[in-house]
Amino acid sequence: MSKPTADEYLFELSGYIVNCAQMVLSPRGGTRYSVMRFLDVLRRVIDFSEYVDCIQQDPYLLELKEKLDKLPIERNEMDELGDALQELLNEFAIEASQRI
């Protein structure tokens, strides 16, 4: 399968986000599964630089993507996942304050 164009990638991601949002409200999407899908959206957004020439790869976001792969995701680790996400959010806020 060939790599999608930027337009195809954006269209696919948009549909995926709509599906994620719908799953949050439906009985088929539990909290844990919904969180995993939204983290997948973040990974895909970070990958935009692979599809759009005017977007440069961001070293911070690439590092964040690696951290996402190390998050606790088992059903019995939801408290740990919440704590890890809060830590990532705090780090993101620090990074954002340095960029402003």
Query: Which of 20, 36, 47, 14 is CA-nearest to residue 85?
Result: 36
What is the band of 20 on the pLDDT scale with cuts at 50, 70, 90?
A: confident
Helix (H, G, I), strand (E, B) or coil at 56: coil
pLDDT at 75 (0 to 100):
81
Contact 12, 58 (CB under 8 A): no
- Tell whether the model's pLDDT for residue 27 goes beyond 80: no
d(CA 64, CA 98): 16
How many domains does the chain contain in total? Answer: 1
Range 18-35 average pLDDT: 82
**Structure letter (DSSP) for residue 60:** H
What is the band of 1 on the pLDDT scale with cuts at 50, 70, 90?
A: confident
**Structure letter (DSSP) for residue 5:** P
Residue 78 lies in a domain: yes
- Tell whether the model's pLDDT for residue 97 goes beyond 90: yes
Structural domain boundaries enclosing 89: 6-99
Residue 1 lies in a domain: no
pLDDT single digits (tens) 31-85: 888 888 889 999 999 999 998 888 999 999 999 999 999 999 888 898 999 999 9
What is the band of 4 on the pLDDT scale with cuts at 50, 70, 90?
A: confident
Residue 73 lies in a domain: yes
